[in-house]
Amino acid sequence: MRRIIILGTGGNCIDILDTLNALNASSGSSQYECIGFLDDNEQCWETTRHGIPVLGPLSSASDYADCWFVNGIGSPSTFWRKQEIIGTTHVPLNRFQTLVHPSASVSAMSHLGRGTVILQHVTVASNARIGNHVIILPNAVISHDDVIGDYTSIAGGACLSGNVAVGHSSYVGAHASVMQDVRIGDYCLIGMGSVVLDSVDDDTVIVGNPSRFLRHTLPPDFQPPPDGTRSAGSHRR
């Protein structure tokens, strides 16, 4: 049995706990035991979530050398900091658990990275390549030959057509639709319900049907984490 600690205490984190429980139930045995959550909000410490304790801050992850970790942090307001936030734990990539909810359909011809979470009723089609620390929320569709970069979040009901590429540390909002062959850059936010017909530059927020530029994502003084890189030839409009 693998002992699991979930990073964060928000809604995605509770869905991750639910996924662990569903995996145990579907296998008929206890593959995973969630021993707790870690969160930097001091008000959460010494409380519980569905009977599971909040053990302390993210920086205490090193105290649990015998555990595996799953990240649930990455809302529309913090997604671009996801790599930085995970980095504060100093947990190596090989100690992060990849999870696929039993109700999801994931092609055997696809590839999932370390620490990636696939939630309820997600479809991942053939030749899709999903990076590390990606979360794909319920009912999203990742079509054939799609590529999803590290640290990216795909919200519930989003639909990516075939041969779409999404960069790292981006967020595709709920029920957004992306046309085939479109390229979405790094640190992008695709607003909920957006219809994306054209490729999107790095550091861009787009909204609407058809989608349009709204603003840049990153603060002017933003510096990528040491092991993070912007796409070659990246630029702002």
Q: Is the domain of 116 the same as that of 207? A: yes
What are the backbone dihedrals phi and psi of residue 2, each rounded to the nearest 5 degrees, phi first? -95, 130
User: Which parts of the chain register pLDDT below 70?
Assistant: 227-237
Task: Please state the domain count of the chain.
Answer: 2
Q: Is there a domain that residue 225 lies in?
A: no
Q: Are residues 116 and 182 in the same domain?
A: yes
Q: What is the pLDDT at residue 229?
A: 41
Q: Note whether residue 223 is domain-resident.
A: no
Residue 232 domain-assigned (yes or no)? no
CB atoms within 10 A of CB 145: 18
Using only the alpha carbons of the chain, give its radius of gyration. 17
120, 200: one domain: yes
Query: Do 103 and 38 share a structural domain?
Result: no
Report the CATH number at residue 79.
3.40.50.20
Which residue range(s) make up the domain with 83? 2-95
32 and 107 together in one domain:
no
Give the CATH number for residue 209. 2.160.10.10
Same domain, 104 and 211: yes
The pair of three-digit structure tokens given for residue 44, joined into one six-digit string: 């959460």
Q: Is 229 domain-assigned? A: no
Q: What is the pLDDT of residues 104-131, one digit of tens each?
A: 999 999 999 999 999 999 999 999 999 9
Task: Indicate the burial class of 42 (C-beta count within 10 angstroms; 0-12, 13-18, 19 or more).
Answer: exposed
Answer yes or no: do 156 and 191 share one domain.
Answer: yes
The 10s digit of each residue's pLDDT in 6-38 is 999 999 999 999 999 999 999 888 899 999 999
The pLDDT of residue 226 is: 77
Q: State residue 225's pLDDT score.
A: 84
Burial 193-226 (b: 16+ CB within 10 A, else e): bbebeeebbbbbbbbeeebeeeebbbeeeeebee
Q: Which pTM value belongs to this model?
A: 0.93
